[in-house]
Amino acid sequence: MTDDIGMLKGMALDVMRKAYCPYSKFKVGCALVTEKGNIYTGCNVENASYGGTICAESNAIVHAVAEEGPSMKLRTLVIASTSEDPAPPCAICRQRIGEFGNPDTAIWLVNDKQAQISYTLSDLLPHPFVFSPEN
């Protein structure tokens, strides 16, 4: 499968509309493609205890791991939001993308106003934390 950004954008915008965000009113959706060519989506799900909130990117990644297993690798993500400018992933989500992606993983940011920007993971997370048992 080729990464059809238009299709992924539509999927991210569709799932964004399903977000549960009664506190922030900030809707986010994510559609991603794995190296196996499978597509998974997720939206943000807030919680009154803010630490219990799940970001759209994390939701989609967890879904992909649940389906493909721990060797799942990311190829492309499209993240949609209702913000004036397309919103980048938070720091925790950048690190989570780094856990399953590579420096060239494509990340597209879009909004419901037809704006879009593209980055690679290395653009958004130039120095990821990497666990090394020797440290």
As for how many domains the chain has, the answer is 1
Kindly state whether residue 135 falls inside one of the protein's structural domains: no
Percent of the chain with pLDDT over 70: 97
Kindly state whether residue 63 falls inside one of the protein's structural domains: yes
- Mean pLDDT, residues 51-60: 97
Kindly state whether residue 15 falls inside one of the protein's structural domains: yes
Kindly state whether residue 129 falls inside one of the protein's structural domains: no
- Mean pLDDT, residues 50-66: 97
Among all residues, which ones are annotated catalytic?
Answer: 57
Burial (0-12, 13-18, 19+ Cβ within 10 Å), 116: middle
pLDDT at 75: 97
CA distance 96 to 103: 13
Kindly state whether residue 130 falls inside one of the protein's structural domains: no
Kindly state whether residue 134 falls inside one of the protein's structural domains: no
Q: CB neighbours (10 Å) of residue 103?
A: 12
* CATH code of the domain in which 74 resides: 3.40.140.10
Dump pLDDT digits (tens) for 64-120.
Answer: 999 999 999 999 999 999 999 999 999 999 999 999 999 999 999 999 998 999 999
Give residue for tokens 């934390």. 129
The residue segments making up the domain with residue 73 are: 5-123
Kindly state whether residue 103 falls inside one of the protein's structural domains: yes
Kindly state whether residue 68 falls inside one of the protein's structural domains: yes
CA distance 38 to 5: 14
Percent of the chain with pLDDT over 90: 89
pLDDT at 40: 98
Residue 41 has pLDDT above 60, yes or no: yes
CA distance 76 to 5: 9
